[in-house]
Amino acid sequence: MNTIPPADYPVYQRHLHPARAARGIWLLPLLLLLTLPLVVQAQFTFTTNYDTITITGYTGQGGAVSIPDTINGYPVVSIQNSVFFFCSSLTSIALGTNITSIGDGAFYECTSLTSVTIPDSVTTIGASAFYDCRFLASITIPDRVTTIGAYAFYNCTRLASITIPDSVSIMGNQTFAYCWSLTNASIGTGLTSIAGSTFACCWSLTDVTIPESVTTIGDSAFYSCSSLTGLSLPYGVTTIGNSAFIFCTSLTNLTLPHSLMSIGQEAFSGCYSLTNVAIPDSVVFIDAAAFADCLSLNSLRIPASVTTIGISAFIGCGSLTAITVDESNPAYSSVDGVLFDKDQTTLIQFPGGRAGSYTVTNSVTTIGSFAFSSCASLTDVIIGSGVTNIGEFAFVSPTSRIGGGDLA
């Protein structure tokens, strides 16, 4: 027989036994905790392949985001290309501990991103992965990463320092280009080359550590690193690419290794503060304009090993008063500080800082292109009767007059 409780009977007693009510109180947080992963994973679209998860999209509101270790019991192992592309509301990201790959452009132009946690599981950081994350001030690259794609940290303008671990063996072009606040960079021993424009326009860079494993400095690798004052390239470097250190305007101390064989076109052009450079006796090739406009360079010695010097290699060196060539050099010679070919029939380069007048001897038949160009202190050039060929732009600054004589 059912009994109707009195009207003043407590509601919880009418509907729920006290023990059951207590149980409900602690079950509620548990239910919330169990549903939390569903809320987290609801922010992402994903695919399942061979019992692993790849994140393919993001539908959340930004802010602080964590990518879970697992979804539906499967490990989250990769972030596909462009998942957070232009997600300007994203402020921090913590990647799950099973992720091995960050796709191309994964965080491209996440312009509010300030914090990134990359787990030790990651081996690949894709091209443009953190392109233009301009508020990202620091990042730790784990020591299992083997590949960093081109433009990976391009224009991360607040990034202050970077350590590339020894595990990295491949690093693409312009990886850290335009990281204006970058002051120091340490390159690991896994790299054999520094790719083109890797640190281009890192205007605050003052300290860079290059390991002996590196054999090649790529084209424009340190283009316009205008705060770099000293540079000692390790033994092992054989090639310095075109424009590798162009416009490193504060560079005063430069040490080139005895393994070096080739100095590229405009490699040190516009290094206005460079006062002297010792070209090692391993160098064979000096390309065009390699040391052009090194305004403070005051002396230069060409070793016996050099067999090729490109056009205008030393043009615009306004403090250079003499170019000396080792007597045993098979291709070049110097007379009174002026650079000639071996038999002294072609005048190649007059030192840009030399003042006064100069007489070209009758034995000279050719004055090379740019030979007297930008010699601002040269007042007069007397050209010998043997000259039959004058190259392009041979005379730009000085006033010359053609004359003759019996000079030897």
What is residue 30's predicted lDDT score, i.e. its pLDDT? 44
Q: Encoding tokens for residue 199?
A: 């640190």
What is residue 348's predicted lDDT score, i.e. its pLDDT? 97
**Does 66 score more than 90 pLDDT?**
yes
Burial class (CB in 10 A: 0-12, 13-18, 19+), 135: middle
The model's pLDDT over 145-172, given as tens digits with 9 standing for 90+, comes to: 999 999 999 999 999 999 999 999 999 9
What is residue 42's predicted lDDT score, i.e. its pLDDT? 78
Nearest to 276 by CA among 329, 353, 373: 353
Longest dimension (CA), the chain: 142
317, 340 Cβ separation under 8 angstroms: no
The model's pLDDT over 13-58, given as tens digits with 9 standing for 90+, comes to: 334 455 544 555 454 444 433 343 444 567 999 999 999 999 999 9
Task: Quote the percentage of the chain above a pLDDT of 90.
Answer: 85
401 pLDDT band, cuts 50/70/90, is very low
| Average pLDDT score over the chain | 90
**Does 119 score more than 60 pLDDT?**
yes
CA 84, 126, 74: angle at the middle one, nearest 5?
65
**What residue type is 91 in one-letter code?**
T
What pTM did the predictor assign?
Answer: 0.86
pLDDT higher for 195 or 405? 195
> In angstroms, rounded to a whole number, what is the distance separating the alpha carbons of residues 138 and 159?
5
The answer to which of 22-31, 314-323, 382-391 has the lowest mean pLDDT is: 22-31
Nearest to 281 by CA among 329, 242, 313: 329
396 pLDDT band, cuts 50/70/90, is confident
What is residue 382's predicted lDDT score, i.e. its pLDDT? 94
346, 366 Cβ separation under 8 angstroms: yes
Q: Please give the helix or strand (H or E) that residue 19 lies within, else none.
A: helix 18-41
The model's pLDDT over 201-254, given as tens digits with 9 standing for 90+, comes to: 999 999 999 999 999 999 999 999 999 999 999 999 999 999 999 999 999 999
> In angstroms, rounded to a whole number, what is the distance separating the alpha carbons of residues 19 and 37?
29
- The number of residues making up the chain comes to 408
- Cα dihedral across residues 338, 353, 287, 184: positive or negative: positive
Task: Quote the percentage of the chain above a pLDDT of 70.
Answer: 87
> In angstroms, rounded to a whole number, what is the distance separating the alpha carbons of residues 321 and 355?
8
Work out the average pLDDT over 135-154: 97
381 pLDDT band, cuts 50/70/90, is very high
CA 140, 141, 146: angle at the middle one, nearest 5?
175
Pairing of strands 74-79, 70-71: antiparallel
